[in-house]
Amino acid sequence: MTTKQIFDDILKLFLRIEHLNVFRSIAPNLTIRENNVLVLLYYYESEFGKTLTIKDISYFYEIKSSTAIQFVNSLEKHGYIVRMNDPKDKRVTLVTLTDYGKEVGKIISKRNHEMVQKILATQEKEELEQAFQIIHKMINTIESVPIEILSYRKEETK
């Protein structure tokens, strides 16, 4: 395999991953990241009986609070969640699922579980561990490359 073929294959793989939206038929009005936030809220509410804050969401996904607020705004607009002030601290906003959000979260969570079970049934544990190691190594390498911000403008012709 040539370097160009490897490069092309890596780019194609990243594009496939980027466009992979397993749950598009369940909640087509949400982005992948909004789906992820919905599942996070469902998981914490159903498993721990815990309502998350916007700060919790931003901390979990390592994003700015303003970005978490954008996701919450979209989820609220589509009727998946409601916001309320924390009765203990009015400065804190709690994010809780509506009945509709719980329904959709349950379906997505179930599909997640089914997908993982299917992967486990078709792959050996050692193969998965090796694949994860390779993927993490590639991501670490990519993250270590400094990003240059280029400003390229075509020279204006007079």
Q: Domain limits of the chain?
A: 3-143
pLDDT for residue 40 is more than 80: yes
Q: How high is the pLDDT of residue 147?
A: 74
DSSP state of 86: E
Q: How high is the pLDDT of residue 150?
A: 59
User: Which comes out higher in pLDDT, residue 78 or 12?
Assistant: 78
Q: How high is the pLDDT of residue 57?
A: 96
Count of other CB atoms within 10 angstroms of residue 58: 18
pLDDT > 70 in the chain, percent = 89
**How far apart, in whole angstroms, are the C-alpha atoms of residue 42 and residue 102?**
6
**How far apart, in whole angstroms, are the C-alpha atoms of residue 114 and residue 108?**
10
Q: Please check whether residue 42 is in contact with residue 102, taking contact to mean a CB–CB distance below 8 angstroms.
A: yes
User: Of the candidates 43, 40, 80, which has an alpha carbon nearest to the alpha carbon of residue 63?
Assistant: 40
pLDDT for residue 79 is more than 80: yes
> H helices then E strands: how many in the chain?
6, 3
Classified by CATH at the fold level, domain 3-143 comes out as: Arc Repressor Mutant, subunit A (1.10.10)
Q: How high is the pLDDT of residue 113?
A: 86
Tell me the per-residue pLDDT of 3-20, one tens digit each, with 9 for 90 and over.
Answer: 888 888 888 887 777 666
pLDDT for residue 127 is more than 80: yes
**How far apart, in whole angstroms, are the C-alpha atoms of residue 48 and residue 53?**
14
Residues 6+ apart with CB under 8 A from 101: 38, 41, 42, 75, 79, 80, 81
Q: How high is the pLDDT of residue 82?
A: 97
Q: How far apart are the first and last CA of the chain?
A: 47
Flag whether the pTM goes above 0.75.
no
**How far apart, in whole angstroms, are the C-alpha atoms of residue 89 and residue 75?**
23
pLDDT for residue 21 is more than 70: no
